[in-house]
Chain A
Amino acid sequence: MADIRCPMCGKTTPADSEICRHCGAQIQPKHLPDFGEETSAPDDQISWLRDLQGDAAPPDADDADVSPDAPPEDDGEMPDWLTRIRERSRFEEQNAARAVVDQNKPVEHKAEEPAADWAENDDLSEGQRGNAVDEAQDWLGNLRNIQTPTDQPDRLEESRPEGETELPLEDEADGEVMERLSALATGPLSAGTEEEPLESSLNFSAIEIPQEEDTLADAPQEDLQAWLDKLDAARPSPETVEDKAAIHDWLNDRAVEEPSAPEVEPDFGEDIPAWMRADPETPMPLETLNTGTPDSAGLEPAEELPEWLHPPQAESPAPSPLGETEPAAEETPDWLTEIADEVFEETPAEEMEGGDALDWLNSVESEEDTLENADLTPSRLTGLETGLEGDALPEADLSEETLFEPKDSAPGFEGDLEEQLLADGALFADLPPEAESGEEGDEAISETFSENGETAAPQYQMPFEIEDVLPEEEGVSPFLKDDLPDWLSEAHAKTLAGADEGSVPAFTLETTQKNKNADSSSPFAGEDVPEWLSKDAGLADMEGALQEAGEEGEIAPAQMPSWLQAMRPVEAVAPGKARPHTSTEAEKAGPLAGLQGILPAEDLATQYRKPPVYSTKLRMNESQKTHADLFEQILQQENGPKAVSRERVQAPHWLIRLVIAVLMISVLVLPLLASPVSIPLALSSPPASVLDFYQELEVLPDGAPVLIAFDYDPGFAAEMRFSAIGALAHLLSKRAQVAAISTVPQGPVLAEDLIRQAQKRAEQSQPGFMAGTSSDFINLGYLAGGLVSLQEFSTRPSLAVQSGFDGLSDGGTVWAKPAQWGVNALADFALVLVLTEDVDTGRAWVEQVQPALGSTPMVMVTSTQASPMLMPYVQSGQLKGLISGLGGGMAYERMAGFSGSSRSHFHAYQYAMILGVAFVLLGLFFKILVSLFARRKATSEA
C-alpha cells in the first residue's frame, strides 16, 4: 500500500498508519463495525456490495430510499428484500470461513478493501463533520441486516429504503462485514438477473467488481485481511463520522443527479439484461458495492444521502428488476432523455463508443471470476467510494455510462458485454477507465452541454476524445508523487510525456483538483458553469459526485495496494475480441495497461475548462440564409422610402412662373386698359340659378327686411364684389332693410364696404336712386364659433347678436332695429342672402340656418371655386338662387340693369380663362411630345 493522503490535512501518511501522523486524524477504521457505523462510505460500499449480492437489489433499495419517488414502493417490498438479505447473510456466515478461498471471499475482500479505503477517506471526512456517525451506524446496521438475509434483487429493490433505515449501526461488525463479503460473493449470481434492469451504472459497477473479484481471486488473502482490519480500525475513528457527513453531502448531490441515471437505466436495463443475466454473479458484487453506498445513504433521507449516491439510488430503483424501471424512465430528467434520443440514437459511432465503454465493463465482468484479489477490490472500492465522495469514479462512470449506454443502445451493449465477458479480464484496466470515463464523461457532458447545443453527441464522443487526449493531457493528477503507486507513477511517466507531475493516476480527475478549490460539491458549480447547467439539478449532482469521486480518486490511487498492480491487466491478458477502439493507442502503464480505448483521465484536465460561452448567433444553413436575406431585402424595399425621381427641369421654376405671370398680366391688362365695349355672349343668357336669384329679388317687396351674410375672406372680396354688387344694388334699389351678419371677423367691415360700393353702383345705375339711410342698414356684427354660432343665430338671433358691430355704444340692443322691421326670427326676414366663397361656410348656412327659415328663401352669391359644390343645394331647392363668380355677377348686373365698369373686367376674365385653356392644352401637347420622344428613343435603343 502506498501512502495515504489524510483527508483532514491533505498530507500523506503511511497507508498502514491508522492515524495521520501530521494531524492525528484517524485514517483507517479500527473495527469493522465501527467502519460500518462511522463511515457512510463504507456502509455504502457494503450496502452496495450487498446490493450486488442481492442481485443489485440493495442498491435499488438505497436508491429507493434516497429518491423520494421510490420510498412508497419500498415499504411493501421490504419484507421480501429483508428475507433475501437474511438468507444471504446466513449463507454468507456459513461461507465466511471459506470466504478466502471462494470467489466470494475475494469479492468480499475487494469490497471490503475498497470499502476500507473509502472508509478511511470517509473517516477523514467524517472526522471533519462528525455528525453522521449515528446515521452511518444506522444505515450500516441496515446494511448488515440486509446483507445477512440475502440480496435477492426483488427484495433488495423493494426493501431498499426500509432495510437501510432499519439497520442499526451497532449490528455492523467485523463478522458482519465478512458475512457481507461472503454474501456478495454468493449474491451476485442470484441478483445478477434481477439487477439487470437496474441502472447501468450499477450494472457496470457490479460487473466491474465481479471482475475484480475474479482477478483478485489470485490476490493473497492476507492483503484482504489486512485491509479489512484497517477498515475495522478506521471505522471507529471519529473522522469516519465526518466522512459520513461529507459522503452524505456528495450523496445528496448524487441524488440530485439520479434522475439522469434512471433515464438511462431503463434502457440499459432492458438492453443489458442479457449480459446481466448472463453474468448474474459478476455484476452482483459491483451492484452491491454501488448499491451498498446508496443503501447507506438510502437509510437516511435524501438529505443525508451522499449526493453521488442519490443518482445511483434513483437509478437503481427505477431500473430495479422488480419492474421499477418504468418509474425510473419517468424520472429521467429531460436533458438525459433528450441526449439519449438525439445523440445516441443518431450517431452509431457513439454507440460504438458506448459499447467500448461497456466493453471494458464486460471484460471486468468476465474477469470477475478471476479477480478475487482483495487488493483490487479495495482499490476499486476506494475509487468507487471515493466515493467517498466519490468514488465517484465507479459511480460517476456508471452514471455516465448509464447515460451513454441508453444512448448507445443496449443491443450493441449486450453484444459487447458478451464479447468482453468472453475475453477481457482486466478489471483494473477497466476500472480506472471507467472511473476516468465516468469523470470525463461527466465533464465531457457538462462541457458538451455547455459548448454544444448537442449535448448528447459530445458525451458520446467523450471516450474517443479522452483516449486521444491521454498522451497529450497535462498531468493533473490528484495524487501526489509520493502517494502514487509505483505502477501509477510509471504509467504516468509513460503516458504523460510533458506532464509536470508524473503522476496521472487513472483515478485522478481534473475535476477533483478543481473541486478541491471549489466549495460547491459539483466541479461545474461556479462561475464557469452556465446557468442552465447549474440549474440542472441532475447535472449539478453529477458534477458534485464527480468532484467527490475525484477527490476520493486521488486518495484511492494512493491506497492502491500492490496487489492492484499485480492485477493490472496485461496486454497478453487483454482479450483479443475486445472491440476495436477508435484510438489505437493502448494503455501501457498503470492498472489499465494493455487496454485499448481507455478513457484517458488526463484528458479531463485539458477538457475540463470553463464552459464556453454560447454564442447567440443563429445557426443557419446557406439556404436558410439566402431566404432570410431575400426576406430582409423585401422588407427593406417595403419600409424604405421610395426614391422620388427628380423632375427634369429645363428652366428654373421661378423663370417659368415669371414668364407665365408676365404673359397673364399682359393679356389681362389689355382689356382693362382698352375697356372693350362689346358685350360678352355669356351675359346675354345667364345661368338658370342666376335667373332664379333674380326672380327671388324681384319678388321682394320694397323695404323688405333682408338678412345678408358677408361670410367671405378678404382675399375673395374682389370676386364677391364683382359677383354680388349687382344683386346688392338690386336690393338697395328696392329699399330693402338690410341686416348684415358674418361669421368671419372681417365680414362686418367687408359688409359695410360692399354695401357702400353697392349703393354707389345703384346710384350710378339708377340716377334717381337714393341710397338707403342708416336706418335701412344694420350691421349685426360678427358671430364667433362658426356652426355653433350659426345654430344659435338661427334659433335665437337676438341672443346671438347682442352687441352688433358698432358695439353697445348706442345703448339699446342691436336686435331692436330688426325688431322694428318686424323681425323676431330669421324666418321673419323676407330674404336671406349669403355671400361666401367657401363651400363649408355655404353648407353651414344651408344646414344650420336654412331649416329655420321656413318659407323665407335663401339665395347665395359665391365664388366660382365653391359653386360646383353648392349647386346640389340649388338643385334641391334649399338655395333659391345662386350667383357664382364674375361671370354670374356680370350676368346678373346685365339682367338687373346695374352694369358698371365690370364689363372690362369680364373681358379680362374671359381672356384669362382662355389663357388657362391654352395652358392646359399646351401642357397636354408637351406631354404628348415627350411621350413620343421617349418612345422613339426607346425603340431606337431597342
Chain B
Amino acid sequence: MRMRAPVSTAIAMAVGIIILLGYFIPLALLQNIRALLLGWAVALMGVAALVGIANMVGVHWRRVRGEEKRDYYSVVFLLAFSLTLVFGLWRSPSDPIFQKVVTSIQVPAATTLLALLAVSLAYSSLRLLQKRQGVMAVVFLISALVFLVLLSGYLPLSSDAPLLNSALGFLNRLPMAGARGILLGVALGSMTTGLRILLGADRPYSG
C-alpha cells in the first residue's frame, strides 16, 4: 500500500515525539526545541482559527451571492462580522468599547441561548421515560431527580445529622465513580489515538 503523505506523516511523528519526550526528559536542549515547536504550534493555531473564520465567511458570502437561494440572514452575519472586524482591528481588542461587543452582545446572546436550554430541558424532563425506557432510563431518571434536589440546596449537608450527612455526601460523591471511569476511558482513548497518530497509523491530516 502506498504511504499517503509521507512528508506530513514524518512531520507529525517527529513533532509529536519530540514534544512527548519533553514530558519525561528534562533535557535543556530538548526542552528548548520542544518550546519552540510548541510556540510554532500555537501560532499555527491562531492561523487555523483565522482560516476557519475565513471559511465561514466564505460560506456566508456564497449564500448572499447565491442566485437560486439567497440567504439574507447571511447579510446580517457579514455585516456583523465586517463591522466587528474592522472596529476591532482599528481599536484593538482591549478597547473598552470593543469589549462591549463581548459583554453587551455575546454574553447576553449566549446566555439567552443557554436560558432557552433551560426551557428545552424542562420540556424534555417531562418526557424522560417516553423516549427511552429500561433500567438505564429509570436509573437516569432517579439520578436526575436526586441531583436536582441536591443542587436545589433544600437538603443541606449539615453536620447535625451525621447519618444523613454521610448519606447525602455519599450521594454527592456517587457520580464520581462513573465520572472517574469516564475520565480514565477518555484518557486511555486519547492516549491510544495520540499514539496511533505518532506511530503513523492514523493520519487525520492527510485528507
Contact = CB atoms under 8 A, between A and B. Distances in A.
The short answer to whether A and B are in direct contact, CB under 8 Å, is yes
Secondary structure dominating the interface of A: helix
A791 interface: yes
Contacts of A887: 151-153
B93 A749 contact: yes
A843 B183 contact: yes
Contacts of A796: 35, 38-39
A910 B153 CA distance: 7
Contacts of A785: 41-42, 44-46
Which interface residue of A686, A786, A796, A890 has the most chain B CB atoms within 10 A?
A: A796
B45 A786 contact: yes
Nearest to B119: A661
Interface residues of B, number: 64
Interface stretch (A139-147, A352-360, A827-835, A921-929): A921-929
B188 interface: no
Interface string B140-181: 010011011101111111110000000001001101100110
B102 A714 contact: yes
B93 A871 contact: no
A204 interface: no
Contact of A715 (B114, B125, B127): B114
Interface string A200-241: 000000000000000000000000000000000000000000
A805 interface: yes
A920 B151 contact: no
B42 A869 contact: no
B111 interface: yes
Interface string B103-127: 1001101110110001111110111
A800 interface: yes
Contacts of A716: 110-111, 114
Contact of B111 (A681, A683, A717, A917): A717
A499 B175 CA distance: 100
Contacts of A870: 179
A788 interface: yes
Given A685-B159, A715-B111, A715-B113, A916 B122 contact: yes
A789 interface: yes
B193 interface: no
Given A681-B153, A714-B107, A657 B125 contact: no
B152 A910 contact: yes
B74 interface: no
A920 B141 contact: yes
A513 B114 CA distance: 93
Contacts of A682: 152-156
B111 to A, nearest CB: 5
A23 interface: no
Interface string B40-77: 01111110010000000000000000000000000000
A377 to B, nearest CB: 75
A720 to B, nearest CB: 11
B44 to A, nearest CB: 8
A920 B41 contact: no
B121 A871 contact: no
Nearest to B143: A868
B130 interface: yes
B56 to A, nearest CB: 14
A683 B152 CA distance: 11
Contact of B176 (A753, A795, A871, A916): A871
A919 interface: yes
B125 A923 contact: yes
A913 B151 contact: yes
A937 B121 CA distance: 31
A68 to B, nearest CB: 47
B182 interface: yes
B11 interface: no
A919 B99 CA distance: 39
Contacts of B39: 792, 796, 799-800
A664 interface: yes
B175 A807 contact: no
B128 interface: yes
B94 A919 contact: no
B92 interface: yes
A664 B19 CA distance: 51
A298 B34 CA distance: 89
B169 A871 contact: no
A806 interface: yes
Contact of B99 (A664, A717, A749, A864): A749
B35 A795 contact: yes
Given A788-B41, A807-B92, A875 B173 contact: yes
Secondary structure dominating the interface of B: helix
Contacts of B43: 784
Contacts of A805: 93-94
Contacts of B159: 685
Contacts of B169: 688
Given A868-B176, A917-B148, A714 B111 contact: yes
A914 B183 CA distance: 30
Contacts of B120: 657
Contacts of A683: 153, 156
A664 B157 CA distance: 27
B5 interface: no
A912 B118 contact: yes
B192 to A, nearest CB: 16
B102 A919 contact: no
A893 to B, nearest CB: 13
A869 B94 contact: no
A687 B35 contact: no
B118 A868 contact: no
Interface in A637-671: 647, 653, 656-657, 660-661, 664
Contacts of B141: 920, 924
A656 B45 contact: no
A909 B152 CA distance: 7
B129 interface: yes
B129 A864 contact: no
Interface string A676-714: 000011111111100000000000000000000000011
A875 B149 contact: no
Given A753-B99, A792-B38, A796-B39, 10 more contacts: A653-B123, A664-B119, A713-B110, A746-B106, A784-B46, A868-B147, A869-B183, A871-B179, A872-B176, A916-B122
Interface of B: 19, 22, 31, 34-35, 38-39, 41-46, 49, 92-94, 99, 102-103, 106-107, 109-111, 113-114, 118-123, 125-130, 141, 144-145, 147-149, 151-159, 169, 172-173, 175-176, 179-180, 182-183, 186
8 tightest A-B CB contacts, nearest first: A682-B153, A715-B110, A785-B45, A913-B152, A923-B126, A792-B38, A749-B102, A681-B156
Interface of A: 647, 653, 656-657, 660-661, 664, 680-688, 713-718, 746, 748-750, 752-753, 779, 783-786, 788-789, 791-792, 795-796, 799-800, 805-807, 809, 843, 864, 868-872, 875, 885, 887, 890, 906, 909-910, 912-917, 919-924, 926-927, 930
25 contacts: A681-B158, A684-B156, A714-B102, A714-B109, A714-B110, A716-B114, A718-B111, A746-B106, A752-B99, A753-B103, A785-B42, A785-B45, A788-B41, A789-B45, A792-B35, A796-B38, A843-B183, A864-B151, A871-B176, A910-B153, A914-B148, A914-B152, A916-B121, A920-B144, A924-B128
